[in-house]
Amino acid sequence: MPFVQIADVSTATRRRLTPHRRLQVWEKTDGVCVLCECQIDGVRERWIIEHIRALELGGPDDFGNMGPAHEACALDKTRDDHRRTARAKRQKIRHIGADSAKRPLPYGKTSPWKRTLSGRVVPR
């Protein structure tokens, strides 16, 4: 996903999954990992329920957004999701003006000095 919409940075609440719900999610793909599309051996391999679109990137916590995934595949995806989320949050912070510029413009509105139209520098 090359672009994360700014409004998408929000976190849905995560509800606990019962074993029956886990079985439902497993049977949705018949035990195929939603990330690498390989069959998961539920006895020998560790697997988790993965939110296909991460909750922190605005994904819903519902059945349609879940699928089984190898734990190793999910770790990679989670790392990438965190990177995207951090970027989207930085963009949102800048977009709504929640943060001031780290390097303000010389003689800008935050500077104690201002430059007049004639070029003189005077205290603001």
Which positions touch Zn ion (CB under 5 A)? 33, 35-36, 70, 73
Nearer to Zn ion by C-beta: 54 or 73? 73
Q: Give the nearest distance from C-beta 73 to Zn ion in angstroms.
A: 3
Q: Give the nearest distance from C-beta 68 to Zn ion in angstroms.
A: 9
Contact 43, 18 (CB under 8 A): no
Nearer to Zn ion by C-beta: 7 or 72? 72
Which amino acid type is present at position 55? L
Using DSSP, state whether 12 is helix, strand or coil: coil
Pairwise CA distance, residues 50 & 35, whole Å:
9
- Cα 111 to chain centroid, rounded: 35
Nearer to Zn ion by C-beta: 51 or 70? 70
